[in-house]
Structure 1
Amino acid sequence: MSRPIIAIIRGVKPDEATDITAALIEGGIDRIEVPLNSPSPFESISAMAKKFGDKALIGAGTVLTVDDVNAVADAGGKLIVSPNMDVDVIRASKARGLQSFPGVLTPTECFAALQAGSDGLKIFPSFLLGSAGLKAIRAVLPAETPIYMVGGFGPANFAEMLAAGAQGFGMGTKLYQPGYTADEVYKRAVETAEGYDKALEEVSN
C-alpha cells in the first residue's frame, strides 16, 4: 500500500541514505525527499534512486531554482518539492518529467501553482492554516487537487486534516533527524503509517 506521506530526511548523509530509505520503505512509507540543504544531496538522491527507484518515489526538497531541478533529474530523482511557489521551477520540473509539489499558503498561490502545471500542492507551513483554513481553500480548489500538509502534523491529528480535505502529509523530524539509526527510522515509519491508516479508516466511516 502506497500512502500519501512524503518523508523529509533533512540532513541525511550519502553513506546512510540507502539504509534510511530501506527502513522507510519497510516501515510503509515510499515517498522520500532529500532536502537540498542536506550534505551532498545529489549523491544521496542518486544512490537512493539507483537502489529503490522501482519501489519508491525518490526526489528532493527545498528545490529553489531551475538548475536544482535539472540536477535532481540528472541524479535520477522523480519528485520536486519546494517551500515556495516558483513558476519557473514548476515548469522545469514538468519539462523533465518530474512530479511537482510547490509550497503554497494562499488561494492565489494555489491557483498559480496549478496553472503552471503542478501535480499537487504543499501547504507550508500548514500549522498557520489549520483545519478551518484548509476547509476554506479546499472548497474553491478543483476537487481532484492533491493537497499535502507540511509542518506541525502527525498521527495525532491526521484524521482532523483528512476530514478537512488534506490528501497527504510531509513528515520531517517525526521520522528522521541526523543521528537516527535505520532501526529507529523504521519504528517511526511504522507508527506513522499505522497512524495514517487508522485516521483514514476513521474519516471514511
Structure 2
Amino acid sequence: MSQSSSETSHIAEGTRRTRGLNPAQDIALIGVFAALIAVLAFAPPIPIGNFGVPITLQTMGIALAGLVLGPWRGAAAAALYVVLGLLGLPIFAGFVGGFGVLAGPSAGYLLAWPLTALVTGFIARIVLRRGSVRWRVPLLFVAAIAGSILVTHPAGIVGMSINLEVSLREAFFFDIVFWPGDVIKSLVAAGAAALVHRSAPWILARG
C-alpha cells in the first residue's frame, strides 16, 4: 500500500473514531486544553513597551485548542479558561484573576480568545479535510495566524484604545510589537497540532 493510501485509511479510521466520541470525552478534552492554556500562562510574561500588555504563551494555547479540537470544543476550552480566570482563579498571566482585568489593557485580547479558537478551528477543519498531508503544517499555520489576525489583534486594539484612553491608531502601533511573536507561536502550534492529528486523527471535533 502506498503512503498516500495508508494516510487516507488512517484519516478515515480517525473519522470513524471521532463519530464515536461521547460527551464525557468531549468535556474531558475541553478541560485538558483549558488547563493547558492555564499552564502556559504561568510561563514568565515578557514585559514590552510601557502600555502594560506583556508577551505570553497563552495565545499559543488558544491556537492549539482550535487546531486540535476544532471550532466548538476549542472555543469551549478557551471560554472555560477565560471564565474561570474572571471568576477569580489566578490563572491569567502574572498569576492574576478576577473581573478587574477587564479594566486593564489586556481585556480585549482575553475576551477575544474563545472567538479566536472558534475561527482557528473552523479553518483548521477545512484545511485538514481538503489539504494535502504534505502541506499540513503550513496550512495549520495559516489557520492559527488567521484567527489571530482576524480576531485577537483587532479586539486587543479596541480594548487598549478604550482602557488606555488612546486612539485606535496609537493602539494599533502598540499591538504591532506582538506580531513577530505570534508568527513564532502559531508556527509551533501548527507543528504540534500536525503531530497530534497524525497520531490521533480521531481527536478532531466532529464534522
**Higher helix proportion (structure 1 or 2):** 2
Which structure's CA Rg is the greater one?
A: 2
- Compare relative contact order (CA 8 Å, sep 6+) and give the higher one, 1 or 2: 2
**Superposition TM-score tier, normalisation by shorter sequence:** under 0.3
Q: Counting strand residues as a fraction of each chain, which structure ranks higher?
A: 1
Q: What TM-score do you get using the length of structure 2 for normalisation?
A: 0.28
